[in-house]
Structure 1
Amino acid sequence: MIHVLQEGKQPEIEITNEYAIVAITKHGVMLARKLQRSFTSSDLFYMKKFGKGDEQEKNIQMFEGSVRLLLPSLFNHYKGIVLIISLGAVVRMIAPLLKDKKTDPGIVVLDDKGQFAISVLSGHMGGANELTREIAALIGAESVITTASDVQKTIPVDLFGKRFGWVWDSAEKLTPVSASVVNEEHVAIVQESGERNWWEYDRPIPENIRLYGSIQEAQQHNPDAALIVTHRNLCKDEEQILKNGVLYRPKVIILGIGCNRGTSAEEIQSVIQETLDELKFSIKSVKGIATIDLKKDEAGLLETVSKYDWSFTSYTPEELNNVTISEPSQTVFSYTGAYGVSEPAARLASGASNLALVKKKSGNVTISVAVIPY
């Protein structure tokens, strides 16, 4: 496909991968073709005048006109963009397109000879730093990353726990807390739940970052900033630590659910929210729903997991019956072949020996709540 780029019109590009590679010079095209062979999750774009004749066969897209007119389309559709263009030109071209670091794609620049791979935009949240390292490794280039937390090998506050699926309650304090981390101020970490292997470097945790057993203990030491990892909703006294702190929600809550056939998604979601509120747990920490396989096609459950992007696990009656539960039910067995649904499903999916809520029946829904132990 050949795109003729015109002012005021965005070309209809073909998108088959998460990343785009763009080249505008003879040597850049040679490098881009070489890179795409190993970086297979990419779409390749370059100027028509450097065509080799095999572009259609290789699904390479060419363009005529200024590459500046192509970039808005790429910005809107790709997770990351590798530009084999001079850094200064890239800065000028992308400046009008920048919106927010939470949504802008990661931008990596390569020089014509492939000597340097430079992380330019959205290094952390957009994944440009990681992409830079990957591209550099593929072509034997030197990676250039200037993000302070990467250079100092310390905690990237905006990415803390991201590989595990952790989310933050609010982005408001990301910047000042990041400043405290890289400026080697006293930063407290309190982790009540979630994966423990978050430190990725082959060096000890910096001395300015200190781990505490509780929020109360951390508050007694008056940290300059705090990273709090918990599935709980904080009480009023504990919230003081968030004056310069970020609250992370690890995905640790499993909801074991049984329900009558045809129970609406609205009722299921209402019971879930009501139950979590009673336990003072955050819905952001829910990992998924577990149930019996008789319910794996239950519309209300499927709609609920789709809405929240949760996992959905189902077990056979035999698997559920292998779990010791508090109140086996002959009535439930007569309908399902299992002596219980919500409780054993929650135990199996979480691996927890003790449940935060063993079982509660509300209307057409029975719910159990487990916290995955780490």
Structure 2
Amino acid sequence: MTKANAVVAITKHGTAIARRLQERMPDVDVYYPEKFAKGDEHARGITAFSGSVVAHVPSLFRTYSGLIGIFSLGAMVRLIAPLLKDKKTDPGVVVIDDRAENVISVLSGHLGGANDLTREVAKALGARPIITTASDVGQTLAVDLLGRAYGWEIANFDKVTQVSAAVVNEERVHIVQEAGERDWWTYDQPMPSHLRRFDNMADAMKEPFDAALVITPRLLSAEEAAAFLENGVLYRPKVIVLGIGCNRGTSEREIEDVVDATLRAANLSPQSVRNVATIDVKGDEPGLIAFCEKNGLPLVTYPAEELNAVEIPNPSETVYKFVGAYGVSEPAARLSSGATEWVVEKVRSGNVTVSVCLTPDSAKPVLGVSR
């Protein structure tokens, strides 16, 4: 595997289509029977296989993000049926007919990307894309994809199916967005009237609704969860920036404990953390690196002169003596987030200091040097 998607053909016509697709889509690996080999397969990076395609599909299904078969829909269904596990992990599967007239999204249309892949393949071949997902056909909100392009996480995926049904059946759905990118509605047409946006839960509670989409970094109260999540999906937008300072040799466990306690006290979810920021001399701190890697968080660093340019409420001569900056966690959080104030100015516990900011616009780039 060298590309994201695998194209598999089993007929003479299919082989020609696969070769054409390789020329027009750089992100595909091509596989077809060796009896249709042209002699240039090695030069083009094409795999000519022996035996039946049945022996090869399981490996391709597990290895690639997308699987494109140039054979019938029924044949693909039979091939992949024993391999299916979960819509969150199964790859996107697409089929193309033997004359490249139709491109059909078969499996994992949303999370696996099959619908987008279908459109891309159809455009490359001048074919007709066939997509049957209700939200795509109706040009309405796809519950399982909302905010995915921005890195939002769904905290309660078990509610996606029932809330998706409410959306496509045009039931009253309230969208409560307290943070995160606001430009997620991408259709040219206005949002349907049964979908209503609110900036806070208090306003949303004033109108009756059947289902809800909640976009917030906050930890919900029991009352809020009961009202909005019984038939609602909770999204965690990436809007929290952690400024972290620590002594040399501080363990990953100590950093994590202080961060967890700080976020919990601030009523914020760790799922909404976007990145960690610190001073450049701490960019190689093993414990801090381990914390970021464990939690999948980018680490952004700033030189002392940039940190000193930020006016902070708790400057420290002691910190300046050791690292040349009057503060680390506070100015680093401000710089990286683009915020004008702190949610948490500074918490110091043991060898760790933590400051917390919320991004005013989480589409802004993370400044500084990324590790």
Q: What corresponds to 1:182 in structure 2? A: 168
Structure 1 residue 148: Cα displacement: 0.4
Structure 1 residue 218: Cα displacement: 1.7
CA contact (8 A) 1:21 1:81 kept: yes
Q: Secondary structure at the match of 1:217?
A: helix
Q: 1:297 aligned to 258, 280, 284, which one?
A: 284
Q: After TM superposition, list the pairs within 5 Å mapping 1:206-221 onto structure 2.
A: 206-221=192-207
Q: 1:138 aligned to 115, 124, 133, which one?
A: 124
Structure 1 alignment gaps of length 5 or more = 1-14
Matched, 1:81 2:35: no
Q: Secondary structure at the match of 1:157?
A: coil
Q: Secondary structure at the match of 2:136?
A: helix
Give CA deviations for 1:213-250 in whole Å, capped at 9, x if unaligned: 32132223221000000000001111121010000000
Matched residues in 2 for 1:41 and 1:169: separation?
Answer: 31
Matched, 1:117 2:103: yes
Matched, 1:262 2:249: yes
Structure 1 residue 108: Cα displacement: 0.7
Kindly provide the amino acid, as one letter, of the partner of residue 214 in structure 2.
I
Q: What corresponds to 1:202 in structure 2? A: 188
Matched residues in 2 for 1:289 and 1:218: separation?
Answer: 33
Matched residues in 1 for 2:36 and 2:87: separation?
Answer: 34
Q: What corresponds to 1:166 in structure 2? A: 152
Structure 1 residue 120: Cα displacement: 0.6
Which TM-score applies when normalising by structure 1?
0.95
Q: 2:301 aligned to 314, 338, 345, which one?
A: 314
Matched residues in 2 for 1:347 and 1:52: separation?
Answer: 59
Q: 2:10 aligned to 13, 20, 24, which one?
A: 24
Q: Secondary structure at the match of 2:342?
A: coil
Matched residues in 2 for 1:213 and 1:131: separation?
Answer: 34
Matched residues in 2 for 1:359 and 1:365: separation?
Answer: 10
CA contact (8 A) 1:23 1:83 kept: yes
Kindly provide the amino acid, as one letter, of the partner of residue 180 in structure 1.
A
- State the Cα RMSD in Å: 0.9
Q: 1:57 aligned to 18, 43, 50, which one?
A: 43
Kindly provide the amino acid, as one letter, of the partner of residue 114 in structure 1.
A
CA contact (8 A) 1:188 1:227 kept: yes
Matched, 1:242 2:229: yes
Give CA deviations for 1:92-140 in whole Å, capped at 9, x if unaligned: 2211111111111100111122111110100001000011111111111
Give CA deviations for 1:13-68 in whole Å, capped at 9, x if unaligned: xx111110000111111110110122111111001100001111222111122212
Matched, 1:363 2:353: no
Q: What corresponds to 1:275 in structure 2? A: 262
Matched residues in 2 for 1:332 and 1:38: separation?
Answer: 56
Of the structure 1 ranges 89-98 and 196-205, higher mean CA displacement relative to structure 2 is found in: 89-98
Kindly provide the amino acid, as one letter, of the partner of residue 304 in structure 1.
F
Give CA deviations for 1:190-218 in whole Å, capped at 9, x if unaligned: 00111111111111111000012321322
Q: What corresponds to 2:55 in structure 1? A: 69
Matched residues in 2 for 1:128 and 1:246: separation?
Answer: 23
Structure 1 residue 331: Cα displacement: 1.6
Matched residues in 2 for 1:100 and 1:330: separation?
Answer: 55
Kindly provide the amino acid, as one letter, of the partner of residue 182 in structure 1.
V
Q: Secondary structure at the match of 1:335?
A: helix
Kindly provide the amino acid, as one letter, of the partner of residue 358 in structure 2.
V
Q: 2:216 aligned to 220, 230, 251, which one?
A: 230
Which TM-score applies when normalising by structure 2?
0.96
Q: Secondary structure at the match of 1:205?
A: coil
Matched, 1:350 2:316: no
Matched residues in 2 for 1:114 and 1:304: separation?
Answer: 49
Q: What corresponds to 1:105 in structure 2? A: 91
Q: Secondary structure at the match of 1:234?
A: coil
Q: 1:339 aligned to 326, 329, 340, which one?
A: 326
Give CA deviations for 1:151-194 in whole Å, capped at 9, x if unaligned: 11111001110000001111111001000000000000000111
Kindly provide the amino acid, as one letter, of the partner of residue 21 in structure 2.
L
Matched residues in 1 for 2:199 and 2:283: separation?
Answer: 40
Q: Secondary structure at the match of 2:105?
A: strand
Q: What corresponds to 2:369 in structure 1? A: none
Q: What corresponds to 1:11 in structure 2? A: none
Q: Secondary structure at the match of 1:201?
A: coil
Structure 1 residue 333: Cα displacement: 1.2
Kindly provide the amino acid, as one letter, of the partner of residue 265 in structure 2.
E
CA contact (8 A) 1:216 1:238 kept: no
Structure 2 alignment gaps of length 5 or more = 362-371
Matched residues in 2 for 1:292 and 1:334: separation?
Answer: 14
Structure 1 residue 91: Cα displacement: 1.4
Matched residues in 2 for 1:85 and 1:345: separation?
Answer: 55
Of the structure 1 ranges 160-169 and 135-144, higher mean CA displacement relative to structure 2 is found in: 135-144
Structure 1 residue 327: Cα displacement: 2.1
Q: Secondary structure at the match of 1:37?
A: helix
